[in-house]
Amino acid sequence: MIEYMRTRPYSPWQNGKVERSHRLDSNYYLGKRFRSLEELRRSVKRYYSRYNNISRKVLNFKSPNEMLKEYRTNN
């Protein structure tokens, strides 16, 4: 089940998974330079394709894409 949760403003400890994702994104792109907007778009597409297909402990060792597929199948 995908659960919608609201957090208080300026309370990063309430949404640690999102904050961790932001840190991973920042670390990946830190220092990278792109020659064009199109090059950046391709890079972001590749990055999220890889990211969304890696299993995560927090998702019971399933990837985000597997969880989404499972959710769509059951709902």
Token pair 């830190």: residue: 30
Radius of gyration over every alpha carbon of the chain, rounded to an integer in angstroms: 15
Question: What pTM does this model have?
Answer: 0.66
Instruction: Give domain limits for the chain.
Output: 34-75
Quote the tokens at residue 69: 């597929």
CB 51: neighbour CB atoms within 10 A? 16
Quote the tokens at residue 36: 């064009």
Which tens digits make up the pLDDT trace of 3-62? 787 888 888 778 877 888 888 889 989 999 999 999 999 999 999 999 999 999 989 999
Q: What is the pLDDT of residue 1?
A: 61
